[in-house]
Amino acid sequence: MKRFLSSNKTEQGSKQRSDSASTSAKSDAEAAEGSRKPKYRKYDDKYLDFGFSCIEINNEERPQCVVCMKVLSVESMLPSKLKRHLETVHSNLIGKPREFFIRKKTEAVKQKSSFSKHSKANSDALLASFKVAYHIAKCKKPHTIAEELILPAAVDMAKIMIGEDAGKQLLKIPLSNNTISRRIDDISEDINKQLINSLRGKEFGIQLDEATDSHKDANLICYVRYVNENQLIEDLLFCKEIEGGTSGKELFDIVNNFMAENDINWEDCVGVCTDGGRSMSGHYQGLQSRIREKAPNAIWTHCIIHREALAAAKFSSELSAVIKTVIQVINFIKTRPMKARFFSKLCDDTGAQHSSLLYYSSARWLSLGNSLLRLFELRQEIHIFLSEDNNALADMFIDESFLLKLAFLTDIFER
């Protein structure tokens, strides 16, 4: 009985081993068959008799009809399938000689090369149009200058220096008034997108000010400062027209709407800089207080230029007398065309660095520093000019005390 059981177990074990061996062999065969890449027929030049050339897609040769330019699958690389396409789709071409399909293939190649050539030419003309629009916007010139001046001048220069063909190529550049306007809008939109994309996710500070343009329209200007790739970047974030009032709430709505439209997180704002106006700097209803409600980490600072203007509003009597004298001298020379021409000629004869003075405008705070610096640099020429004109102010420019005060004011107001 024991021998029978042991022999039975031996038979079962050998049977299981044989089954597992056959199963593993079968799986290995299936894996080898699955890993084996299918083989397809290669393109033969004889297939052109059926109107098919060859095109390579994803490192695979595929048949392409030279008549309708349709690309068939890899499995269709068979004479029977290619012939079927000719008979079903182009039945009117059955019996055409091989030369007919060769000519069709040549025409297709030429058409493709011509299309790529024109496409490159159009892209170059488009790029040139954007370049011209960029320079026009940068120089603040009218949009019509491109078509009326830049293009004719460029064509003439190209014809003279290079040849007639080069001049004809330049005529393909679109530079009409409306085109330049669209190009500038596209450039502006692209620059704004680049700025917004680089600003997202970074801590930043903003500086806001209200200004009135030449058309008496009020605008809210916002500058942004942030760190990008270990570099401190400062750029104009937006300039929005103030359509309603100028209260803190209305100004905040303009800023908040811009932040929401461009998906900028208020929590990344760490600094706000404004002037001392109540609508800007108010602690309860001002713009900076409303911004700090959205950005708790933001620190408000009073604009240093506004503070300087407030501090410079009242000088000591001695310094005020110096500034009064400076303005008087500038107006004496600049407001009289003949004296301005004589002074310019005097500066040219003496080899001075400049040939004219700069006006001072109380509405432009930084103009005082520029005016003082220019006058201090031309102090010797001014002394000569006023002396020849027998002006009593000439003695001021050889007075050491006056020159020291003038140098002091120039230094503190220099940008």
pLDDT tens profile 352-409 = 888 888 887 765 666 778 888 999 999 999 999 999 888 888 989 988 999 999 999 8
- Provide the residue ranges of all domains of the chain, joining segments of one domain with +: 45-112, 123-187, 203-307, 315-414
pLDDT given at position 117: 47
pLDDT given at position 4: 39
Residues of the chain under the 50 pLDDT cut: 1-12, 15, 21, 25, 29, 31-35, 115-119, 121
Residue 17: strand, helix, or coil: helix
Place of tokens 């012939």: 83
pLDDT given at position 369: 82
Query: Contact, 181 vs 130, CB < 8 A?
Result: no
Q: How far apart are CA 346 and CA 364, in angstroms?
A: 29
pLDDT given at position 119: 45
Contacts of 365 (CB under 8 A, 6+ apart): 305, 308, 309, 312
pLDDT given at position 415: 57
Query: Contact, 88 vs 67, CB < 8 A?
Result: no
The C-alpha angle with vertex 283 and arms to 277 and 288, in degrees rounded to 5, equals 65
Q: Alpha helices, DSSP H only, in 36-147?
A: 79-89, 98-139, 145
Kindly report, residue by residue over 22-51, the tens digit of the pLDDT.
555 455 545 444 445 556 677 888 888 888
pLDDT given at position 144: 92
pLDDT given at position 364: 62
Which CATH class for the 203-307 domain?
alpha beta
pLDDT given at position 365: 61
Q: How far apart are CA 232 and CA 152, in angstroms?
A: 42
Residue 394: strand, helix, or coil: helix
Query: Contact, 291 vs 283, CB < 8 A?
Result: no
